[in-house]
Amino acid sequence: MRMKVKEVAKLIDGEVIGDENIVITGVSGIKEAKPGDLTFIANKKYKNLLYTTKASAIIVGRDITNSVNATLIQVDNPSIAFAKIMSFVGPEPIVFPPGIHPTAIIGKNVSLGKDVSIQPYVVIEDYVKIGDKTVIGAGVYIGHYTEIGNECLIYPKVVIRERIKIGNRVIIHPGTVIGGDGFGFATVKGVHHKIPQIGTVEIGDDVEIGSNVTIDRARFDKTYIGNGVKIDNLVQIAHNVYIGDNSIIVAQVGISGSTVIGKNVIIAGQAGIIGHITVGDNSVIGGKAGVTKNVPPNTHVTGFPAREKWEDMRFHAYIRKLPELLEKIKQLEEKIEKLEKKDG
Amino acid sequence: MRMKVKEVAKLIDGEVIGDENIVITGVSGIKEAKPGDLTFIANKKYKNLLYTTKASAIIVGRDITNSVNATLIQVDNPSIAFAKIMSFVGPEPIVFPPGIHPTAIIGKNVSLGKDVSIQPYVVIEDYVKIGDKTVIGAGVYIGHYTEIGNECLIYPKVVIRERIKIGNRVIIHPGTVIGGDGFGFATVKGVHHKIPQIGTVEIGDDVEIGSNVTIDRARFDKTYIGNGVKIDNLVQIAHNVYIGDNSIIVAQVGISGSTVIGKNVIIAGQAGIIGHITVGDNSVIGGKAGVTKNVPPNTHVTGFPAREKWEDMRFHAYIRKLPELLEKIKQLEEKIEKLEKKDG
Amino acid sequence: MRMKVKEVAKLIDGEVIGDENIVITGVSGIKEAKPGDLTFIANKKYKNLLYTTKASAIIVGRDITNSVNATLIQVDNPSIAFAKIMSFVGPEPIVFPPGIHPTAIIGKNVSLGKDVSIQPYVVIEDYVKIGDKTVIGAGVYIGHYTEIGNECLIYPKVVIRERIKIGNRVIIHPGTVIGGDGFGFATVKGVHHKIPQIGTVEIGDDVEIGSNVTIDRARFDKTYIGNGVKIDNLVQIAHNVYIGDNSIIVAQVGISGSTVIGKNVIIAGQAGIIGHITVGDNSVIGGKAGVTKNVPPNTHVTGFPAREKWEDMRFHAYIRKLPELLEKIKQLEEKIEKLEKKDG
């Protein structure tokens, strides 16, 4: 990479504050940046790094107007602007050209869209439908009657079982399993009998699902992942869970059966949510939280059992006061003893 | 689906209370049910839904005798009865007919039972034995000397390494790994030397294992999964763990090395159990619990560090009383001050 | 196995205390040992088992000099000595002979070292480099430009995406995914736009990675796993994480983006570490801990939020005193009431 700051600014509709002729030779995070690097600040939390970074130029929001050494490029959304530059300077993305590899095994009555790319050792069962420009990575398995939309990118070794519906522009990372049986048994005299899981999984448009995720099929009806939902690695989504549009589920989260997650919810890493409850729109579940009851909309809960964040913080504050409390009680005891003696 | 309630009742040996001529057109959960739907109640916890559901008929236990609008069908076990109806009305299950796909690679001295189904791109190493009617899904890898019983269903992309023994009627969902090396190192001057894991994994009859589970082989002897055990997705079972018959392990649980789990134990989601301990028969480990010492039989533990449920609840009750406590101590201080003044 | 104790001792440079002519017929853990078995004690925590084990001989450290019944074999490092015996008596390890299976699909400009073993249904994309004596297991996928060193063992169904660098003598267990996209989005008006993840993953020498692990590629620059690091099953390592040499990461741990882990750190099972922090060299993170801020070197933290272990233990001790505290306050109230009455 070798570009002047003013050229960078042009690409991202940015306004330059400082020397617009500095030459940028790389991109990097603000902490790791070296002279010559372009970096960015998206979160005001890291604002003080403006004064310590060695970067030569920083993409910032419109409200940031000065730094110590670096030239600033003001834009509406620094993350998106930086992403644009990154795709510009990054290595050529790997492209899988259209075509069906001769080793792919494709069942009867399969409908393949225009310009699909079916990589080696893919197995596609009967009656599958795949939309235009979708890429099916090496060794993927797609079960009977499953439908996948347009422009999807299914990475190697993904397993999508039968009768699943997946929308358009969905990305699924390697090793993920969609449509495994829900975990349901009827126990008679200590023996667990399998309950058939005759439902399915339906995934909306623009969903991204990480690596080695598991999304179970419904007992009946469907497990549902709304449009624009983003799911990180190693997440467990049980049967009949419903996730509203644009929610974000971070790594290693587990959501139990039949729970309903609203829209624009954020569930941080390793949180767990019990079954048959509702998490309202725009709520935030803290990392490692254990959610045991309904969460209203627009609520931030943390801890286990999860409660509202302010309540959880107060709880921890009280706990921290315990040593002091013990000391006080000891003093009170002594005072009372004195009073009792005098009184006696 | 289109059946009269009396026809449904006949299939499941049920007794009808209400109009037996109502026509059922679908099945569904009790909360989501619409008019025309058949549903069920297995857990008395949800009994009040009898009065709000829109279902036309409800399968219930023998002890439930009235609802608001729906016809009841009384049976011995509502879950099992409903499961029966579900397999009746659900879509045709996908069946993998017997036969060996020409792309399957099968080693020397492999013994295949009658009517096995070996799907595309399976790799079976030398000296493997597979029982009658077992299905080996697409892309499965089975290591040397491994034995799998009759009527098993091994889903795509499962990896079963060498010298593993698996019983009859075992179901293993996609992406699961059986027999990876136990995690064991001997550290000399900060460098970790691998300890050979020469043991194996033995899995009993009627076991079901979810997707992307990992069950490690033993250091010596074996990791053991008893008959009828059911394991959910993304569970970690370390080397030399022993799990007694009919225990249930919910998603994302981790069990550390050499721990012994009794029979009929239930371990809820995201719980973790340290190594070298024993969990007694019929015990229950709560969701997200962290078990740090032996759990006696018939004991329900929760929290981290896990203690008996009543104790953990009392602990949380005390915590909730802390603000009140602080208030009280303040009052006592004031009273004593007054007394001291008078006294002085 | 059938060896005299003196023959065993010779193999591991051990000194015999007791009857050196006893015949050893098996190896086993100290708790499970039967007469005829050889076992070992590596951790003094289990020292009292010396007096209850049924083993005929025990490999011990130089400082242990007596037991009840068993003959002792003193060595410098009992774990390593026992491991040596185990590889001696264990079944022949499975060896994958050099050669390229005819079903392997190998791209253009791929460089393969001497004596590599490429198993069935492997897919290797263009410009990949693989070092001498490395084994690529059945069904593995290796993306464009990726480089793998010498004497590595990549188990079946592993996915290594493009532009990854892996050192020498690295072991990767089945189902693991290296180089999936980091989880990064820029949100504009509630819609999450994907941020390109143009970085890579670099893995040092002598690393071992368990089954179904996920290690994400960096947003830019690299996610880094140092030499000698050992990672257990189902671990999540996010984009731009840095792990120092010889650290140990136990099962189901999650490390969030851009966090730096020092050298010789131990992170126990199911712990979670937030992003953008530093864990110092030689520190220990307890099982299930939730680390929310920097951890200095040589520090043992536990709990959630994680604090120093002594502090966390004191915290739990205070909590245990709460019932007693409530009782005391009640008594004080009564005493004060009495005093007030007298006083009045």
- Give start and end residues of each alpha helix (H) in chain C: 5-11, 78-89, 309-343
Cα three-residue angle A94-A97-A101, rounded to 5 degrees: 115
Q: How far is CA A241 from the centre of its chain?
A: 16
pLDDT tens digit string along C234-249? 999 999 999 999 999 9
Residues from chain C contacting residue B220 (CB–CB below 8 Å): 27-29, 86, 90
Look up residue C20 and give its amino acid. E
In angstroms, the separation between the Cα of residue C69 and the nearest Cα of chain B is 23
Q: How far is CA A78 from the centre of its chain?
A: 20
A92 Rama sector, left if φ>0, alpha if ψ -120 to 50, beta otherwise: beta
Q: Say if residues C279 and C265 touch (Cβ distance below 8 Å).
A: yes
DSSP per-residue string spanning C105-120: EE-TT-EE-TT-EE-T
Q: Say if residues C155 and C190 touch (Cβ distance below 8 Å).
A: no
* Other beta carbons within 10 Å of B314: 14
Length of chain A: 344
Look up residue B245 and give its amino acid. D
pLDDT of amino acid A31: 84
What's the rounded Cα separation, in Å, for the pair B214 and B178?
A: 6
- Residues of A annotated as catalytic are 239
- CA-to-CA dists, residue B245 to A82, A190, B145, B224, B265, angstroms: 55, 10, 25, 10, 9
What domains can you pick out in chain C, each with its CATH number?
Answer: 3-89 (3.40.1390.10), 99-307 (2.160.10.10)
- Residues of C annotated as catalytic are 239
Query: DSSP secondary-structure letter at B233?
Result: T
Q: Tell me which residue has tokens 């004031």.
A: B334
Query: From B87, which residue of chain A is nearest by alpha-carbon distance?
Result: A196
Q: Does the distance separating the beta carbons of B332 and A335 come in below 8 Å? A: no
* A190: nearest CB among B90, B233, B264: B264
* B175: nearest CB among A177, A322, A329: A177
pLDDT tens digit string along C48-105? 888 899 999 999 999 888 777 899 999 999 988 988 898 888 888 899 999 999 999 9
Q: What are the DSSP E strand ranges found in C195-316?
A: 200-203, 208-209, 214-216, 222-225, 230-231, 236-237, 242-243, 248-249, 254-255, 260-261, 266-267, 272-273, 278-279, 284-285, 290-291, 300-302, 307-308
pLDDT of amino acid A326: 81
What's the rounded Cα separation, in Å, for the pair C266 and C288?
A: 13
What's the rounded Cα separation, in Å, for the pair A157 and A178?
A: 12
- CA-to-CA dists, residue C313 to C40, C302, C304, angstroms: 32, 9, 12
From C341, A342, A319, select the one nearest A334 (Cα to Cα). Answer: A342
**The two three-digit tokens of residue A336, written as one number:** 């009372």
Q: Which residues contact A325 (CB under 8 A, 6 or more apart)?
A: B325, B326, B329, C325
Q: pLDDT > 90: what percent of chain A?
A: 76
**The two three-digit tokens of residue B94, written as one number:** 């996908």
Q: Does the distance separating the beta carbons of C120 and B139 come in below 8 Å? A: no
* Other beta carbons within 10 Å of B14: 23
Q: Does the distance separating the beta carbons of C252 and A252 come in below 8 Å? A: yes
Q: Give the ipTM.
A: 0.93
Residues from chain B contacting residue A304 (CB–CB below 8 Å): 288, 304
* Other beta carbons within 10 Å of C166: 26
Exposure of B135 in the CB half-sphere (CA atoms within 13 A) = 17
Best interface-test mutation with A: which of B212, B213, B236, B325 has the largest number of A CBs within 10 A? B212
Query: From A101, which residue of chain C is nearest by alpha-carbon distance?
Result: C105
What's the rounded Cα separation, in Å, for the pair B15 and C44?
A: 65
Confidence of residue C344 (pLDDT cuts 50, 70, 90): low
Q: Tell me which residue has tokens 């007794």.
A: B15
Strand, coil or helix: A338: helix
What's the rounded Cα separation, in Å, for the pair A173 and C195?
A: 15
Q: How far is CA A238 from the centre of its chain?
A: 17
pLDDT of amino acid C343: 64
What H or E segment, with its residue span, contains residue A153? strand A153-154
What's the rounded Cα separation, in Å, for the pair B234 and B63?
A: 38
Query: DSSP secondary-structure letter at B178?
Result: E
Q: Say if residues B162 and B146 touch (Cβ distance below 8 Å).
A: yes
Best interface-test mutation with A: which of B39, B270, B339 has the largest number of A CBs within 10 A? B270
Residues from chain B contacting residue C174 (CB–CB below 8 Å): 141, 159, 161, 177, 180
In angstroms, the separation between the Cα of residue B314 and the nearest Cα of chain C is 9
Look up residue A139 and give its amino acid. G
* C252: nearest CB among B180, B220, B236: B236
pLDDT of amino acid B259: 98
In angstroms, the separation between the Cα of residue A196 and the nearest Cα of chain B is 6
Best interface-test mutation with C: which of A152, A231, A233, A249 has the largest number of C CBs within 10 A? A233
pLDDT tens digit string along A297-317? 999 999 999 999 999 998 888
Strand, coil or helix: C4: strand
Catalytic annotation on B101? no
Residues from chain A contacting residue C139 (CB–CB below 8 Å): 121, 139, 157
Q: Does the distance separating the beta carbons of A315 and B319 come in below 8 Å? A: yes
* Other beta carbons within 10 Å of A105: 17
In angstroms, the separation between the Cα of residue C225 and the nearest Cα of chain A is 17
What's the rounded Cα separation, in Å, for the pair A140 and A159?
A: 6
* A175: nearest CB among C212, C216, C315: C212
Q: Say if residues C122 and C140 touch (Cβ distance below 8 Å).
A: yes
Q: Which residues contact C126 (CB under 8 A, 6 or more apart)?
A: C107, C108, C109, C110, C144, C145
Confidence of residue C228 (pLDDT cuts 50, 70, 90): very high
* A335: nearest CB among B27, B157, B336: B336
- Name chain B's partners: 3 or more CB pairs within 8 A: A, C
Q: Does the distance separating the beta carbons of A323 and C193 come in below 8 Å? A: no
Best interface-test mutation with C: which of A40, A158, A270 has the largest number of C CBs within 10 A? A270
Q: Sign of torsion, CA A242 A247 A251 A253?
A: negative
Q: Which residues of chain B have pLDDT under 50?
A: none
Q: Say if residues A126 and A107 touch (Cβ distance below 8 Å).
A: yes
Query: From C316, which residue of chain A is nearest by alpha-carbon distance?
Result: A319
- Strand partners for B179: none
What's the rounded Cα separation, in Å, for the pair A258 and A277?
A: 7
In angstroms, the separation between the Cα of residue A215 and the nearest Cα of chain B is 9
Q: Which residues contact A214 (CB under 8 A, 6 or more apart)?
A: A176, A177, A180, A235, A236, A237, B175, B210, B211, B212, B233, B234, B251
Q: Say if residues A81 and A5 touch (Cβ distance below 8 Å).
A: no
- Strand partners for B248: B230, B266
Percentages (nearest 5) of helix, strand, coil residues in chain B: 20, 30, 50
* B177: nearest CB among C175, C251, C323: C175
- Name chain A's partners: 3 or more CB pairs within 8 A: B, C
Q: Does the distance separating the beta carbons of C332 and B220 come in below 8 Å? A: no
Cα three-residue angle A27-A29-A34, rounded to 5 degrees: 65
Q: Which residues contact C344 (CB under 8 A, 6 or more apart)?
A: none
Q: Does the distance separating the beta carbons of C121 and B220 come in below 8 Å? A: no
Look up residue B192 and give its amino acid. H
**The two three-digit tokens of residue C166, written as one number:** 């892996």
In angstroms, the separation between the Cα of residue A307 and the nearest Cα of chain B is 12
| Antiparallel, parallel or unpaired: β C3-4 and C23-24 | antiparallel
From B242, B280, B281, B279, select the one nearest B258 (Cα to Cα). Answer: B242
What's the rounded Cα separation, in Å, for the pair A54 and B103?
A: 57
- Quick one: angle between helices C309-343 and A309-343, nearest 10? 40
Query: From B328, which residue of chain C is nearest by alpha-carbon distance?
Result: C329
Residues from chain C contacting residue B194 (CB–CB below 8 Å): 83, 171, 208
Length of chain B: 344
pTM listed for this prediction? 0.94
Residues from chain A contacting residue B282 (CB–CB below 8 Å): none
Query: DSSP secondary-structure letter at A295?
Result: B
Query: DSSP secondary-structure letter at B5?
Result: H
End-to-end alpha carbon distance in chain C: 89
Q: Say if residues B261 and B279 touch (Cβ distance below 8 Å).
A: yes
Residues from chain A contacting residue C332 (CB–CB below 8 Å): 329, 332-333, 336
* Other beta carbons within 10 Å of B39: 28
pLDDT averages per 10-residue partition of chain A, 344 residues: 92 94 90 90 84 93 84 93 85 93 98 98 98 98 98 98 98 98 92 93 98 96 97 98 98 98 98 97 98 98 96 86 83 84 70
pLDDT of amino acid A183: 97
